[in-house]
Structure 1
């Protein structure tokens, strides 16, 4: 863990824990939660988790230094592709997936949170 400082940042820990708790409740506990939480909570937290994992991998596998940060164009592309996949393409192939334009906003909020607080040199 010492060689992965990206995973010790408080926002990442909160996002990963919150996402894990959300999934644990969804599949195990089944505690009723407000619709706002069940609909958008995981979507906001997903982008900081995915982007932190990608940043850590890019720094170690992509011949970049520990000071490497994602350019804004990469963050915009990440937000765009996640939005298109989960809100545009996947609902056409899965009965469980539902296209919701507010999910795109939630992904944008998560991407902005990553950009603001996690996309920093170690």
Structure 2
């Protein structure tokens, strides 16, 4: 859990939410950064809490299914039941890009492969 990228995700999440709370949202980052970080955070927590395997490497297909499922639930299903949320296709793209980032950058960074 002391993974440097995971710590950065948390710092960025708090930064974005503090900016929202003080009514000073940062354009673009406010809209999509938290969605981009969602899959990397969930995958990282799953690996460490549920699987309890730091050496586990998620297959790309698993991460893409996570992104698709998240996009369907949060951008299509949930907005149809709540008037407080709106589905945004760009959020779905952010989930997808977060999955790709986790697969190609975070997992390799964590295993020391990114610098080889």
Query: Shorter-chain-normalised TM-score: which range?
Result: 0.7 to 0.9
Work out which of the residue numbers 89, 94, 98 in structure 2 matches 1:110.
98
Q: Which residue of 2 aligns with 1:14?
A: 8
In structure 2, the CA distance between the partners of 1:69 and 1:91, relative to structure 1 (3 Å rule), is same
Query: Secondary structure of 1:54's match?
Result: helix
Q: Which runs of 5+ in 2 are unaligned?
A: 112-116
Work out which of the residue numbers 26, 33, 36 in structure 2 matches 1:33.
26
Work out which of the residue numbers 28, 41, 44 in structure 2 matches 1:49.
41
Q: Which residue of 2 aligns with 1:4?
A: none
TM-score, with length taken from structure 1: 0.78
1:14-45 deviations in Å (ceiling 9; x for gaps): 11110122122222x221422x1221121112
Find the aligned partners of 1:116 and 1:32 in 2 and give their Cα distance.
Answer: 29
Q: Indicate if the aligned counterparts of 2:16 and 2:26 stay in contact, CA closer than 8 A.
A: no
TM-score, with length taken from structure 2: 0.82
Equivalenced residues, count: 110
Q: Which residue of 2 aligns with 1:78?
A: 66
Higher normalized contact order (CA 8 Å, seq sep 6+, divided by chain length): 1
Q: Which runs of 5+ in 1 are unaligned?
A: 1-6
